[in-house]
Amino acid sequence: MFKRKNKRKPAATYREVFTKGDWATKLSFVVMGASQLKHKQWAKGLAFLLIEVGFFVWLIHTGISELSLFTSLGPIKAKKVVFDNAQGIYITKLPSNSVVILLFGVLALIILAALIGLYIFNLRSTRNLYVADRDHETIETNKQELKSLFDTRLHATLMTIPIILIVAFTVLPTMYMISMAFTNYNREHAIAFSWTGFQAFGQVLSGDLAGTFFPVLGWTLLWAVMATATTFFFGVLLAMLIESKGIRFKGFWRTLFIIVYAVPQFVSLLLMAQFLDLQGPLNNLLLSWGWIDHAINFIGASANPWVARATVIVVNMWIGIPVSMLVSTAIIQNLPQDQIEAARMDGAGPLQVFRHITFPQILFVMAPSLIQQFIGNINNFNVIYLLTGGYPMNNNYNGAGDTDLLVTWLYNLTFGQLQRYNASAVLGILIFIISAVFSLLAYRRTNAFKEG
Amino acid sequence: MKSYHERQRVSLISRYVLLIFLALVWLFPIVWIVLASFSYNDTGFISTIWPEQFTIQNYVGILTNSQFPFLYWIRNTLVVSLVSMVLSTFVTISVAYSLSRLRFKFRKPFLQIALVLGMFPGFMSMIALYYILKSFNMLNLAGLTMVYIGGAGLGFYIAKGFFDTIPIAIDEAAVMDGATKWQSFIHVGLPLSRPMIVYTALTTFMAPWVDFIFSGIILSSSGNPKDYTIAYGLYNMLHSAKGASTTYFAQFIAGCVIIAIPITIIFVIMQKFYVNGITQGADKG
Amino acid sequence: MKLWKKVIMGSASLVAITLLAACGSGSSSSDSSTKSSTATKISGDVTLWVDTAQVPSYKKLVASFEKKYPDVNVKLTQSPNGSSNAKTDVGKDPAKAADVFQVPNDQLGQMAEAGYINPLSPDAEKEVKADNIDMAATAMTWKDKMYGYPWAQQANILYYNKSKLSADDVKSWDSLTAKGVIGLDFTVPYNVYPVFLTAGTKLYGDDGETLDGSTVASDEGVAAMKWFAQQKANKGVMQTSNALNQLKAGKVGAIIDGPWDATNIKNLLGDNFAVTTLPTLTINGEQKQMQAFIGVMAFAVNSHTATKNQKAAQTLAAWVTNKAGQTELYKSQGQIPVNKEALDASDVKADPVAVAVDKQSAVSTLMPKMPQMATVWNDAAALTNGAYTGSIKAADYMTQLQKFQDAISKK
């Protein structure tokens, strides 16, 4: 790496490269790879050339039409039912399929952006060659170039496939989702839809969904704080209990607790919902012991909202404490003992040691992962979806219940009765903004945002 | 006044009592689930702690059910999770190693972009993923495997944290000896990160066993239950038709218990690596 | 392998025999089947989605179909999430959905509006009208065109435990809940919304297709809300999401459920099994026969199906819903037919469940096909549940009903 840096000459401007370069250099501005081929960097040159050829084949073949369709999301907006006399049946002339048009439009934009990036890379490489020629430097041979892929440019080798995968399976879908928020893709426009700007944002923030959005947002944040704090705090306590002096078979105890986390959630939570039902085993047990007079409606459709919310947090503790216990165990084992010893010598009780030394230290080490947990809890789909399904019902909400988080509401809007795809895309963007703001604030405060 | 030892003993006993009590509370629902899988049930709901009638018919039923081919599901999931395990681990470790040990211009932007991408909820992307796979005619187990592998490039945080803890001097020594970076990756980096590789492999192996949402979106349109994975197959048992949740409920629990056993065992093995990964990543923070 | 083949062949010939019998006896049906047999040129590839449990039954029907139309190749699979989710399953990607699939009639309007399904040809329409009861034909019609081939009817009925309640007890809600306990889920609009209809309100007008024809925000609507509120204090009413379990345990003596659970309930109650129409309710001091939503199951043809396969798809949909098809589904799955002749068969006439559904249908309301039904299902649950639990105060009934009515009447 240092070698390459030293070799770099004061850059020539592209104007200079173009006016003073030889024919191959000039050609490189139009035909990628020309200069590299002339300098016998076969692999690089051919790769550039083939990619450019491939790009233009794609552009002419489908690219142009994809991009032009993207602007309108398809020309035919309404279906037409016609009678087919030959067969004696009705045929539907279908509208444009905007979902596919949108997807391939976004893909075309990504391809375009990738090619522009590659073109700049090509220019830069051409300039390097030009500068090397001008100053009579040695030029890397084809073989050296390839070899460097396993040495100074190892990162390129290792990262190429992952980046392609990330672009295909994360970037493209995310950009697709973002663009969906600016359309009227919903039940009434299920096949063909159009661009409508910020209309869907209006529906969520001030329209018919606003009365649901803000209360659900409030509960989502409260939930995320409570869920993160309770599992963390009690996880630390449990870890300290197991790690405390005199307890034997520590590994065994840890395993007992971790079993709960290991059982797949769609099993444990689905059955937990039955366990807590109005007529479920827990109520029956409490009734038969005489601890309660009436069955408690923990999470049913007509439960008290705050009872249900508290229940959800408690059940989440059941699942979450074992994990946080495991994590804090490792930290406790690695805590510097000298401070604790010193405090003990000064006569501090175990409670004081915990409050002033152990807990702050654990908190310090855990801070970054706590922020991640907080973000994870904002998007904690499983616990709500499988346990309560959003219940109890709330007749002031639209498509959500009292325990619904933004993310489960988003799911309902997409896959439930309402089919408001654009509104749920807006929710997705808003969830992102909220997560980003919170993690930025938190990272700043914990000063852990050094490298991302 | 009691002696120091006596107080110690009281404290230890009370701590044991507390621990046993907590363990009982935690395990109680799990035991109940296992009991439920052995109870005769034809109403789709369990209202008792102790089964009224024990039976192993639920297990016989799930293993021989012709509409819900459980054994095919296990086979499919095993194939998907093994392929995904090998390739995802490769992807994750490559990315984590590059980001931690190599220095290149795109490194910092990549870390930031990855952080941003991770904050978008995944549901909306499912519609896009569906059509991407469809355009490659891959709405099948292979496509599902691709989705799992596709997510691996962003799951590098814990592994990167682990690599960050390995002193850079080890790499430098290797380079001094004339090793290329590739050689130091293969001969120094990978052997050192064995616990991390095991951890990553086990996590990616488990994912297909518990994911019922992505698998549902991608596999459901084939209409052939022999092509399902275990999580979607089981989930589908209860949701395939009106009245199905009653008819197949008991078999559903039995099936769940069967797959929960291996996952639990893997998880118990994995906890050691899990803790190492997290704390070493967090230490660096 | 051999055995398997034998079974298929055997069942195919069995169906063929029933068909022959049907042709011999029927007048109008023989007419129609000769007509379809003249069109021998039908060919193509067709995929068919049915509920998981019904796959074996349809295998037989498809076999007979392929025998009759050897040039048509049918691929039969289970639908992803069941016929009640047809709207979302097909909507996810209509091009990938089956050419012919099952759908309940309340989803037909929305699917037709979205362009997911094709109307029936005038000839097919005539056949459906001639062969099936009028109610079924109405259920398939949306904006003057028919969009599905009906094959079964569903309506909630009352199942009860003979050892706990007598046939007289269950005639009215009041005596039922005085003598025993009924289990009901007030959060499932399919079960409880019909109380509004019972009270005399309209949902989308008399025809179920008038957007501003709902009259739920009215005195009758308030009376229904009051009825819900009264049930909270009624000792004979249990709010439960697992009525079957309560019925088995003997904690409730009666439940309201659809015909799809009949087999399960028969197994639970054994000799104590009894079934009848829904009881009468006292609303505003008057005894009124409790209504249910009538659902008619249909087979619809995907509009994304290639034109060359359209005719084959329509023919298949007609075939699996003809008299023989409906009879087969009744015999193997207990699906209550809508075909006039199939309904007249002696075993249907003797089946208490079928009789109860048929009787209940006569006094009930057909589920509207409006695309806005999605909003009804979505919003009604909170409304009925709110009235039942008391979270909606009596003073707010009218405002809440008005809010609901406005929401469901939006274009």
Terminal C-alpha separation, chain A? 23
Cα separation, C66 vs C354, whole angstroms? 30
Write out residues 355-394 of C within 8 Å (CB-CB) of A: 371, 374-375, 377-379, 381-383, 385-386, 388-389, 391-392
Residue C273, classed as helix, strand or coil, is strand
Fold for B59-284, please state it: MetI-like fold (1.10.3720)
* Number of domains chain C contains: 2
Nearest CA in chain B to A264: B210
Q: Is A204-446 assigned to CATH 3.90.470.20?
A: no
pLDDT bracket for residue A5 (50, 70, 90) = very low
Shortest CA gap A338–chain C (Å) = 58
Using CB atoms, which residue from C114, C124, C314 is nearest to A190? C114
The pLDDT value given to residue C16: 42
pLDDT at C323: 94
Q: What is the ipTM of this complex?
A: 0.85
| Residue C154: per-residue pLDDT | 93
Task: Retrieve residue A320's tokens.
Answer: 């979450």
A363-367, B93-97, C78-82: segment of lowest average pLDDT: A363-367
pLDDT at residue number B2: 61
Q: What subunits touch chain C, counting only 3 or more CB pairs under 8 A? A: A, B
Judge whether residue A159 has pLDDT over 50. yes
Domain layout of chain A by residue ranges: 2-197, 204-446
How far is residue A303's CA from residue C391's CA, in Å, rounded to a whole number? 10
Res A1 pLDDT > 50: no
Query: What tokens does B60 get?
Result: 């016989």
Q: Which of B47, B67, B221 sits opposite C53 (nearest CB)?
A: B67
Q: Cβ separation of A158 and B95 shorter than 8 Å? A: yes
Residue C62 located in a structural domain: yes
Provide Rg for chain C, Cα atoms: 22
Note the pLDDT of residue C14: 42
- What digits encode the pLDDT tens for the residues A296-353? 889 888 888 999 999 999 999 999 999 888 878 877 777 777 777 888 888 888 788 8
Would residue C360 be called left, alpha or beta, if left means φ above 0 and alpha means ψ between -120 and 50 degrees?
alpha
| Residues in chain A within 8 Å Cβ distance of B119 | 375, 431-432, 435-436, 439
Please report which helix (H) or strand (E) contains residue A286, including its range: helix A281-289
DSSP result, chain B? ---HHHHHHHHHHHHHHHHHHHHHHHHHHHHHHHHHHTB--SSS----SS-SSB-SHHHHHHHH-SSS-HHHHHHHHHHHHHHHHHHHHHHHHHHHHHHHH---TTHHHHHHHHHHHTTS-SHHHHHHHHHHHHHTT--SHHHHHHHHHHTGGG--HHHHHHHHHS-HHHHHHHHHTT--HHHHIIIIIHHHTHHHHHHHHHHHHHHHHH--HHHHHHHGGG--GGG--HHHHHHHHHHSSTTHHHHSHHHHHHHHHHHHHHHHHHHHHHHHHHHHHHHHHHHH-
Provide the pLDDT for residue B284.
41
C242 occurs within a structural domain: yes
* DSSP tag of A21: S
Chain B residue closest to C268 (CA)?
Answer: B42
Residues of chain C contacting residue A86, judged by C-beta atoms under 8 Å apart: none
CB-based contact C385 A393, cutoff 8 Å: yes
Mean pLDDT, to the nearest integer, of C212-224?
Answer: 93
Give residue C49's domain range: 2-154+295-362
Question: pTM of the predicted model, to two decimals?
Answer: 0.85
The one-digit pLDDT tens for each residue of chain B (285 residues) are 567 788 888 889 999 999 999 999 999 999 999 998 998 888 878 888 888 888 888 899 889 888 889 999 999 999 999 999 999 999 999 999 999 888 888 888 888 888 888 888 877 678 888 888 888 888 899 999 999 998 888 888 878 877 887 788 888 888 888 888 888 888 888 888 887 888 888 888 988 988 888 888 888 877 788 889 998 888 888 877 666 777 788 899 999 899 888 888 888 777 777 666 555 544 443
Task: Note whether residue C367 is domain-resident.
Answer: no
Cβ atoms of A139 and A9 within 8 Å: the answer is no
> CB–CB of C52 and B243 under 8 A?
no
Q: Given phi > 0 = left and psi -120 to 50 = alpha, else beta, which region is A308? A: alpha
**pLDDT tens digits along C196-207:** 999 999 999 988
Identify the pLDDT of residue B268. Answer: 79
Q: Do C115 and A277 touch (CB under 8 A)?
A: no
**Domain range summary for chain B, segments of one domain joined by +:** 4-57, 59-284
Q: Domain check: are C127 and C164 in the same one?
A: no
Q: Is C110 on the interface with A (CB under 8 A)?
A: yes
The one-letter amino acid at C393: K
Best residue in A170, A179, A217, A385 to probe B by mutation, most B CBs within 10 Å? Answer: A170
Give the model's pLDDT for residue A2.
Answer: 42
Contact at CB, C80 and B247, closer than 8 angstroms: no
Write down the pLDDT at residue A220.
95
Inform me whether the C-beta atom of residue C162 falls under 8 Å from chain A C-beta atoms.
no
Residue that wins the pLDDT comparison between A101 and A267: A101
Partner-chain residue, chosen from C121, C371, C374, that has the shortest CB–CB distance to A88: C121
- Do residues C177 and C275 both lie within one domain? yes
**pLDDT exceeds cutoff 80 at C356:** yes
Judgement on whether residues C377 and C335 belong to the same structural domain of the protein: no
Within 158-197 of B, beta carbons closer than 8 Å to A belong to: 180-182, 185
Closest residue in A to B250 (Cα) is A271
What letter represents residue C304's amino acid?
H
Cβ–Cβ contact A302 with C under 8 A: yes
- Do B130 and C244 count as a contact with CB atoms less than 8 A apart? no
Instruction: With beta carbons under 8 A apart, name residues in chain B contacting A284.
Output: 47-49
**Whether residues C286 and C205 fall in one domain:** yes
Residues C320 and C384 in one domain: no
Residues of B in contact with A320 (CB under 8 A): none
| Range among A6-15, A261-270, C98-107 with highest mean pLDDT value | C98-107
Task: Confirm or reject contact between A432 and chain B (CB < 8 A).
Answer: yes
| Length of chain B counted residue by residue | 285
Mean pLDDT of A284-296: 88
Residues of C in contact with B252 (CB under 8 A): none
Q: Which of A87, A88, A395 sits opposite C383 (nearest CB)?
A: A395
Select the residue of A79, A190, A393 nearest C381 (Cβ to Cβ).
A393
What is the Cα–Cα distance from B60 to A332, expressed in whole angstroms? 46
Cβ atoms within 10 Å of B21's Cβ, excluding its own: 10
List chains adjacent to chain A, taking adjacency as at least 3 C-beta pairs closer than 8 Å: B, C
Q: Does the CB of C245 have a partner CB in chain B at under 8 Å?
A: yes
Contact between A419 and C400 using a beta-carbon 8 Å cutoff: no
The CATH number assigned to the domain holding C185 equals 3.40.190.10
